[in-house]
């Protein structure tokens, strides 16, 4: 298949590209370097030393594996870029990772919130219009997030719920209660994608993904130039990846608030497989479907305890420290999310075990002298203690 990967330079996009290329698909990547730029501005960096550009990665891949990938550098918010790529590459599948993925980033200021929503919503809108005009049969595989649903006090369904109301019933989108302006951007995307499928007969899969963890995939291990990024800073690092790094460098594991915040998690290896399964099992024209993409649920306290146990086994001195929650979120709540559709398509999950955590420790040890220590503790608050003056 001809697979276009938007956001192909990212944590998940790059290993997905290698995986699909190795399976024999014709892969083309688009990125505008936003993630690298945001790190430079924030004086943070990936723990793993990634190749200096997306083109350098593609060249390294060709040397190591023998297969070629196309690369276009450009912004999805520029509709000319999107149209040119669709016209020239004629994709059968469009895997869309190309968004600003950080909740804390989106909560840093009005400008950060506005940028996140513009970047994500307009980029996706451009993809939808370009598909309508240039690739109406292509399948959009879009990365959404479990955080679109929030933490309701009922079971979370896979995208839709049957509602009975005043004697009538319908199957409707599951209610959305995002917890950051980033998560809200994903909700807006979902509404736009569903509408485009309904009115233009496009086909799309919205992958409502949980929090991803892990450093390596089969391909990142083949050559250091093929490493994917691994972030641990307060803006781009996610819970388990941060906890593993904190354990290795002897920092207390930062459990926010009461620690009962429960989310779905999955290994990066499973992310890639889920995207492959979605891509190779397309929906019908006009169908908008939603898969909940995670393999296990944990509270942050459970995650921290698992990392602490594995760390002590490994010979590390690990301390878990509850700190003030910089976010506004439920810290103790009910959480039970359905996630059967990818299993039905053949996903065989890699569960989080202490052995897996130990293998993450080993990989982190290798690069520990690259850690930027003063970028770990959270400073961005959902409700700043001293609100900024109102914009003029």
Polymer length in residues for the chain? 392
Tell me which of 44, 48, 124, 145 is the catalytic residue: 145
**Residue 213 bridge partners (DSSP):** 267
Q: Is 101 in the site for ligand USQ (CB under 6 A)?
A: yes
Edge-to-edge strands, sheet with 262-267: 211-213, 262-267, 296-299
Helix (H) / strand (E) containing 226:
none
* Least distance from ligand USQ to the Cβ atom of residue 69, Å: 24
CA distances from 9 to 12, 50, 173, 227 (A): 8, 10, 32, 11
Nearer to ligand USQ, 101 or 282 (CB): 101
311 in Cβ contact with 361 (< 8 Å): yes
CA distances from 379 to 7, 30, 182, 382 (A): 27, 32, 17, 10
145 catalytic, yes or no? Answer: yes
Q: How many CB atoms lie within 10 A of CB 127?
A: 32
* Least distance from ligand NAD to the Cβ atom of residue 33, Å: 5
Tell me which of 186, 228, 232, 295 is the catalytic residue: 186
Q: Is 254 in the site for ligand USQ (CB under 6 A)?
A: yes
**Member of 128, 269, 274, 300 binding ligand USQ (CB under 6 A):** 300
DSSP-derived 3-state class of residue 138: coil
76: partner contacted, choices ligand NAD, ligand USQ, none (Cβ within 5-8 A by kind)? ligand NAD
Nearer to ligand USQ, 126 or 246 (CB): 246
Nearer to ligand NAD, 212 or 226 (CB): 212
**Residue 255 bridge partners (DSSP):** 322
Tell me which of 11, 97, 182, 335 is the catalytic residue: 182
Q: Is 290 in the site for ligand USQ (CB under 6 A)?
A: no
Cα 163 from Cα 69, distance rounded (Å): 46
88: CB partners within 8 A, 6+ apart: none
* Least distance from ligand NAD to the Cβ atom of residue 337, Å: 13
Cα dihedral across residues 321, 322, 324, 330: positive or negative = positive
Q: What is the CA radius of gyration of the chain?
A: 20
**Member of 248, 255, 268, 320 binding ligand USQ (CB under 6 A):** 255
**Member of 129, 160, 200, 256 binding ligand USQ (CB under 6 A):** 256
258 catalytic, yes or no? Answer: no
Cα 30 from Cα 53, distance rounded (Å): 12
* Least distance from ligand USQ to the Cβ atom of residue 218, Å: 23
Q: Is 90 in the site for ligand USQ (CB under 6 A)?
A: no
Binding site for ligand NAD (CB under 6 A): 7, 9-13, 30-35, 75-77, 97-101, 119, 123, 143, 145, 209, 211-212, 238
Tell me which residues in 204-233 interact with ligand USQ (CB under 6 A). 210-211
Cα 164 from Cα 93, distance rounded (Å): 36
367 catalytic, yes or no? Answer: no
- The dihedrals phi and psi of 322, each to the nearest 5 degrees, come to -70, 130
* Least distance from ligand USQ to the Cβ atom of residue 169, Å: 29
* Least distance from ligand USQ to the Cβ atom of residue 106, Å: 9
DSSP-derived 3-state class of residue 167: coil
Which residues of this protein are in contact with ligand USQ, per CB under 6 A? 101-103, 145-147, 183, 210-211, 238-239, 242, 254-256, 261, 263-264, 300, 327, 329
Catalytic residue positions, numbered: 145, 182, 186
């Amino acid at each position: 298949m001809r697979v276009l990967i938007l956001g192909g330079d990212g944590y998940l996009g790059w290993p997905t590209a290698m995986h699909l290329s190795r399976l024999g698909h014709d892969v083309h990547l688009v990125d505008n370097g936003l993630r690298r730029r945001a790190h430079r501005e924030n004086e943070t960096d990936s723990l793993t030393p990634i190749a200096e550009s997306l083109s350098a990665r593609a060249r390294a891949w060709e040397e190591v594996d023998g297969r070629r990938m196309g690369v276009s550098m450009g912004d999805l918010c520029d509709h000319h870029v999107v149209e040119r790529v669709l016209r020239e590459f004629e994709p059968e599948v469009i895997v869309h990772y190309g968004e600003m993925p950080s909740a804390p980033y989106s909560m840093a200021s009005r400008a950060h919130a506005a940028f996140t929503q513009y970047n994500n919503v307009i980029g996706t809108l451009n993809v939808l219009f370009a598909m309508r005009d240039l690739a109406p049969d292509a399948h959009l595989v879009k990365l959404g997030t479990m955080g679109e649903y929030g933490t309701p006090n009922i079971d979370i369904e896979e995208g839709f719920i049957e509602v009975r109301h005043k004697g009538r019933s319908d199957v409707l989108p599951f209610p959305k209660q995002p917890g950051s302006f980033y998560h809200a951007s994903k909700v807006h995307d979902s509404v736009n994608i569903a509408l485009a499928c309904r009115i233009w007969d496009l086909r799309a899969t919205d992958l409502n993904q949980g929090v991803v963890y892990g450093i390596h995939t089969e391909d990142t291990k083949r050559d250091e130039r093929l490493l994917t990024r691994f972030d641990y800073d307060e803006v781009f690092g996610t819970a388990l990846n941060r906890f593993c790094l904190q354990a290795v460098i002897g920092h207390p594991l930062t459990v926010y608030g009461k620690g009962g915040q429960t989310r779905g998690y999955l290994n990066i290896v499973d992310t890639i497989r889920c995207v492959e399964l979605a891509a190779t099992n397309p929906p019908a024209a006009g169908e908008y479907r939603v898969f909940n993409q995670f393999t296990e649920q944990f509270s942050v306290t459970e995650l921290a305890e698992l990392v602490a146990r594995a760390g002590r086994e490994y010979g590390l001195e690990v301390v878990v420290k509850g700190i003030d929650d910089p976010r506004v979120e439920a810290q103790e709540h009910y959480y039970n999310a359905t996630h059967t559709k990818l299993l039905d398509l053949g996903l065989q999950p890699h569960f989080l075990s202490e052995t897996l955590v130990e293998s993450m420790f080993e990989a982190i040890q290798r690069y520990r002298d690259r850690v930027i220590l003063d970028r770990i503790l959270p400073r961005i608050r959902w409700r700043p203690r001293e609100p900024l003056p109102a914009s003029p």
